[in-house]
Amino acid sequence: MNIKVVVKALEGYTSCDVADALSKLKVPHGGFLAGLTMWSPKRQDGPTKVVGPAYTVRYVRKNYENEPQPSGHYVSSFHQHQYSDERLISLQIDSIPSGSVVFISAPARSINACYGGLMSTRAKYSGAVGTIVDGRLRDLQEHRDLDYPVFARDVGTTAPAETMRVAAINEPVRLNSDDQDATIHPGDILVGDLNGVVCVPQHLAEKVIDLIPSQLEADEKVAADIKNGRLVAESMKEHRSGVKKP
Amino acid sequence: MNIKVVVKALEGYTSCDVADALSKLKVPHGGFLAGLTMWSPKRQDGPTKVVGPAYTVRYVRKNYENEPQPSGHYVSSFHQHQYSDERLISLQIDSIPSGSVVFISAPARSINACYGGLMSTRAKYSGAVGTIVDGRLRDLQEHRDLDYPVFARDVGTTAPAETMRVAAINEPVRLNSDDQDATIHPGDILVGDLNGVVCVPQHLAEKVIDLIPSQLEADEKVAADIKNGRLVAESMKEHRSGVKKP
Amino acid sequence: MNIKVVVKALEGYTSCDVADALSKLKVPHGGFLAGLTMWSPKRQDGPTKVVGPAYTVRYVRKNYENEPQPSGHYVSSFHQHQYSDERLISLQIDSIPSGSVVFISAPARSINACYGGLMSTRAKYSGAVGTIVDGRLRDLQEHRDLDYPVFARDVGTTAPAETMRVAAINEPVRLNSDDQDATIHPGDILVGDLNGVVCVPQHLAEKVIDLIPSQLEADEKVAADIKNGRLVAESMKEHRSGVKKP
């Protein structure tokens, strides 16, 4: 199935519909990436939906004397010493493919932001459909003025160059989390709305699209039954038995 | 005092007024349940107030191979092996008494949601006045479209059945917290508004209603004094001396 | 430079512009105070900007039997035993200088709020331009009804007197944080908007004002270039070379 067809199909569903299908396909937590919520165009409100293949950027912590050093060990696969850190930050944003969802990963618990207004300006020009920041965003009003969707972990005010540098573009990135183990691969389909963000592994996208309609149909029947006073247990027993299984 | 009279009386006050009275009655932190905030009908905005006796549902973690196991020990008091986990989830939502506030407790730091749109549809049909989720809610737009109040710790996308199961209905549940020790008992009066949620122990409800008016009256006089330029210290000294004590 | 001139100049910029200048001046994290966000007049929305010299109030934990004791050691520099704790709380709010930004520090991870509606009523009367609470605020609707800006870590319902007391007024206070080391000194210029709060050390304020305009001018040119399809890397290389350095 063509990627455009996949995206078009998924745009008709909520992140929860997608997660339901992924749960059936045994993807842990239905692909949910906890902690990444909508900041632009509105704060977790309205019909905004972002669907597209992931274009990933990974920042790593620089040796920053004012903060404790991370105990882990980072391997840079990208950093080329002929470029300044600031130049690398702008290079990654110039390479965004049209239709993609930019996924930017900052080092865990970063105080500095890793995404700002100029980057959304370029991302929008490049035809990206939205950006998801596993870290802090800044220039909040600028993203909103662009009417460009941005999801993030939190807000911030300060540019990244002081404390972090770009280490990898379009390589797998791990979600910053103490509670779950999730990795976003380039090309995975990211689906974001006011409930949060779900990551659909590329090879499961067609199966997800195949599974959703009969689930949705059953849930609509259950909702109608409930409004007519029928018990949830009873209605689910009837309507969910016919739901498509993987 | 009849429960309907208690609820009617408390509906006239904010969660802060109620907490002030509970503080005087030596309830730790004035009964505040930190971290549970309004998501529907709006995000911590507007005049929404939820007041009613707690109907509690407690989920526990299932043996879930993709995640670390909890170190504690859960005792299931409800799980009946003739029912599937999904059926248990729907059974608890079919038993909500009219006028109640549903309090749903998920295992601490759950990634999966434990509350969704169909449950609000049924809760509203049953005459519940709102739901408070010590965990994640999903289907955010559905709750808002129902104009049904839901408070929660955070949002999510994924159904509960993969990682948790219902273990107890209408038994005491402990708040998920590293910082405070609070337990919600069935029948306790839950009061929620844009400041958060307060739990009024059932046997203290009448005392709370008795204590609030003179406190409110004093605070209104202090506010008026301040707007006329009087010092807070001076005004409080005068007006708070007459406030009713337990 | 007169403090009024400094404030007037900074009011024309966002917290991000100010952080950019502070980063150049080697202030860690560009002076950003992570975790303190706008709650009033709106929740992280709209053009609200707060700029003014800090008037600081520090609360410390009382010996509170219902909670674990802090392992650290607090030194009270203010507590005068002829005043009650409640009276001290009101005394500090009566002494706010016109034009200042009130910065109130609660003990880390406090469940009780340390700031409420009467305090904003007085702060507004005193001519304060806003309040920043490193802790919980309560009476959210009252601050909004006053159209008075309040930033805070979170919401709450319960008055402070049960668990904390005022220990110091207009002395340096340390930000509650596990991830950064920041101290707010009385007279530092606090700048808050929908991105968060930045603290400008008093002796750097003029340098910040001197550095911002050429940075802003360059960024505007880059934004214009991007909208015309120019690469970010290329445009930044041209326009940022002329940006003023400290």
What's the whole-number mean pLDDT along residues C208-227?
Answer: 96
Token pair of B177 as six digits? 């917290």
pLDDT in tens, A195-245: 999 999 999 999 999 999 999 999 999 999 999 999 988 999 899 888 999
Q: Which residues of C71-105 are buried (b: 16+ CB within 10 A; e: fewer)?
A: eeeeeeebeeeebeebbbbbbbbbebeebbbbbbb
Q: Which residues of C128-147 are buried (b: 16+ CB within 10 A; e: fewer)?
A: bbbbbbbbbbbbbbbbbebe
Residues of C in contact with A138 (CB under 8 A): 16, 19, 195
pLDDT computed for residue A83 by the predictor: 54
Confidence of residue C83 (pLDDT cuts 50, 70, 90): low
pLDDT computed for residue B82 by the predictor: 45
pLDDT in tens, C107-128: 999 999 999 999 999 999 999 9
Token pair of B122 as six digits? 């049924």
Q: Name A58's bridge partners.
A: A105, A168
pLDDT computed for residue A93 by the predictor: 81
CB C142 within 8 A of CB C117: yes
Distances from the Cα of C42 to the Cα of A42, A215, B46, C146, angstroms: 13, 39, 11, 12
- A16/B139 touch (CB, cutoff 8 Å), yes or no: yes
Interface test with B, best of C157, C166, C178 (most B CBs within 10 A): C157
Residues C61, C135: Cα–Cα separation, whole Å: 12
A155 — phi, psi (to 5°)?
-95, 165
What's the whole-number mean pLDDT along residues B26-42?
Answer: 98
Q: Is the dihedral of CA B87, B92, B96, B102 positive or negative?
A: negative
| Interior angle at CA A162, CA A147 and CA C34, nearest 5 | 60
CB B43 within 8 A of CB A45: yes
Angle between helical axes of C15-24 and C205-227 (0-180°, round to 10): 110
Residues C152, C39: Cα–Cα separation, whole Å: 7
- A158/C20 touch (CB, cutoff 8 Å), yes or no: yes
Average pLDDT, chain B: 90
pLDDT in tens, C39-51: 999 999 999 999 9
pLDDT computed for residue B1 by the predictor: 83
- C155/B196 touch (CB, cutoff 8 Å), yes or no: yes
> From start to end of B46-180, where are the E strands?
50-61, 101-105, 113-115, 130-137, 150-155, 164-169, 173-174
pLDDT in tens, B184-203: 999 999 999 999 999 999 99
pLDDT computed for residue A62 by the predictor: 86
Worst-scoring range by mean pLDDT, B45-49, B63-67, B114-118, C76-80?
C76-80
Token pair of B86 as six digits? 């999904």
Contact with chain A for residue B160, Cβ under 8 A: no
Residues C240, C224: Cα–Cα separation, whole Å: 14
Q: Is the dihedral of CA C219, C221, C225, C227 positive or negative?
A: positive
pLDDT computed for residue A18 by the predictor: 98
Kindly give, in sequence order, each residue whose CB lies less than 8 Å from that of residue A67, ignoring residues fewer than 6 positions away. A111, A163, C28, C179, C180, C181
Residues B94, B91: Cα–Cα separation, whole Å: 5
pLDDT computed for residue C90 by the predictor: 74
pLDDT computed for residue B83 by the predictor: 55
- What's the alpha-carbon Rg for chain C, to the nearest Å? 20
In this predicted structure, the answer to whether residue C20 has a pLDDT above a threshold of 60 is yes
Residues A191, C67: Cα–Cα separation, whole Å: 42
What's the whole-number mean pLDDT along residues A19-40?
Answer: 98
What's the whole-number mean pLDDT along residues C122-149?
Answer: 98
C116 is in an annotated binding site: yes
CA dihedral B89, B90, B91, B93 (to 10 degrees): 100
CA dihedral C73, C77, C80, C83 (to 10 degrees): -80
Contact with chain C for residue B118, Cβ under 8 A: no
pLDDT computed for residue C66 by the predictor: 52
Tokens 């101290």 locate to: C183
Residue of chain C minimizing CA distance to B19: C158
Confidence of residue A71 (pLDDT cuts 50, 70, 90): very low
Winning range, highest mean pLDDT, from A196-205, A232-241, C158-167, C235-244: A196-205
Residues A31, A15: Cα–Cα separation, whole Å: 10
pLDDT computed for residue C29 by the predictor: 97
Q: Which residues of B83-114 are buried (b: 16+ CB within 10 A; e: fewer)?
A: beebbbbbbbbbebeebbbbbbbbbbebbbbb
What's the whole-number mean pLDDT along residues A105-119?
Answer: 96
Residues A52, A162: Cα–Cα separation, whole Å: 31
Contact with chain C for residue B194, Cβ under 8 A: yes
Half-sphere exposure of A66 (CA within 13 A, CB side): 17
C139 is in an annotated binding site: yes
Confidence of residue C71 (pLDDT cuts 50, 70, 90): very low
In this predicted structure, the answer to whether residue A246 has a pLDDT above a threshold of 60 is yes
pLDDT computed for residue A79 by the predictor: 38
Q: Could you say which residues from 171 to 190 on chain B have a Cβ atom under 8 Å away from some Cβ of chain C?
A: 179-181
Q: Name B136's bridge partners.
A: B113, B154
pLDDT computed for residue B84 by the predictor: 61
Residue B191 to chain C, least CA–CA distance (Å):
11
Residue A216 to chain B, least CA–CA distance (Å):
12
Q: Is the dihedral of CA C47, A156, C211, C205 positive or negative?
A: positive
What's the whole-number mean pLDDT along residues C214-234?
Answer: 94
Contact with chain A for residue C43, Cβ under 8 A: yes
In this predicted structure, the answer to whether residue C75 has a pLDDT above a threshold of 70 is no
In this predicted structure, the answer to whether residue B76 has a pLDDT above a threshold of 90 is no
Instruction: Quote the DSSP letter at residue C15.
Output: H
3-class state of residue B246 by DSSP: coil
> Across the interface, which of A86, A111, A141 has its CB nearest the CB of C179?
A111
pLDDT computed for residue C73 by the predictor: 29
Tokens 């200042």 locate to: C100
pLDDT computed for residue A226 by the predictor: 94
Contact with chain A for residue C79, Cβ under 8 A: no
Kindly give, in sequence order, each residue whose CB lies less than 8 Å from that of residue C82, ignoring residues fewer than 6 positions away. none
Token pair of C24 as six digits? 């150049």
DSSP secondary structure string for all residues of A90-154 = HHHHHTPPTT-EEEEEPPTT-SSEEE-HHHHHHHHHTT--EEEEEEEE--HHHHHHTT--EEEEE
- B198/C155 touch (CB, cutoff 8 Å), yes or no: no
Kindly give, in sequence order, each residue whose CB lies less than 8 Å from that of residue B240, ignoring residues fewer than 6 positions away. B218, B222, C86
Q: Which residue has the higher pLDDT, A140 or C81?
A: A140
Kindly give, in sequence order, each residue whose CB lies less than 8 Å from that of residue A1, ignoring residues fewer than 6 positions away. A205, A206, A209
pLDDT computed for residue B220 by the predictor: 95
pLDDT computed for residue A64 by the predictor: 56
pLDDT computed for residue A72 by the predictor: 30
Residues B228, B68: Cα–Cα separation, whole Å: 59
- Which candidate, B151, B143, B144, places its Cα nearest to that of B123? B143
pLDDT computed for residue C39 by the predictor: 98
Confidence of residue B91 (pLDDT cuts 50, 70, 90): confident
Token pair of A95 as six digits? 């390479």
3-class state of residue B16 by DSSP: helix
Token pair of B176 as six digits? 């998920």
In this predicted structure, the answer to whether residue B221 has a pLDDT above a threshold of 80 is yes
- A195/B156 touch (CB, cutoff 8 Å), yes or no: yes
3-class state of residue B182 by DSSP: coil
Distances from the Cα of B113 to the Cα of A52, A99, A189, B89, B106, angstroms: 24, 30, 21, 12, 8
> Across the interface, which of B29, B44, B240 has its CB nearest the CB of C111?
B29
The reported pTM is 0.93
Residues, chain B: 246
In this predicted structure, the answer to whether residue A63 has a pLDDT above a threshold of 80 is no
> Across the interface, which of C43, C154, C158 has its CB nearest the CB of B45?
C43
What's the whole-number mean pLDDT along residues C80-93?
Answer: 63
CB C155 within 8 A of CB C140: yes
pLDDT computed for residue B85 by the predictor: 64
C164 is in an annotated binding site: no
pLDDT in tens, A4-27: 999 999 999 999 999 999 999 999
> Across the interface, which of C90, C125, C158 has its CB nearest the CB of B19?
C158
Residues A14, B138: Cα–Cα separation, whole Å: 10
pLDDT in tens, C49-67: 999 999 999 999 986 555 4
Residues C189, B128: Cα–Cα separation, whole Å: 49
Worst-scoring range by mean pLDDT, A230-244, B132-146, C172-186?
A230-244
* Neighbour tally for B169: CB within 10 Å: 18
Contact with chain A for residue B121, Cβ under 8 A: yes
> Across the interface, which of B28, B30, B232 has its CB nearest the CB of C157?
B30
Contact with chain C for residue B245, Cβ under 8 A: no
CB A227 within 8 A of CB B121: yes
Neighbours, chain C (3 or more CB pairs < 8 A): A, B
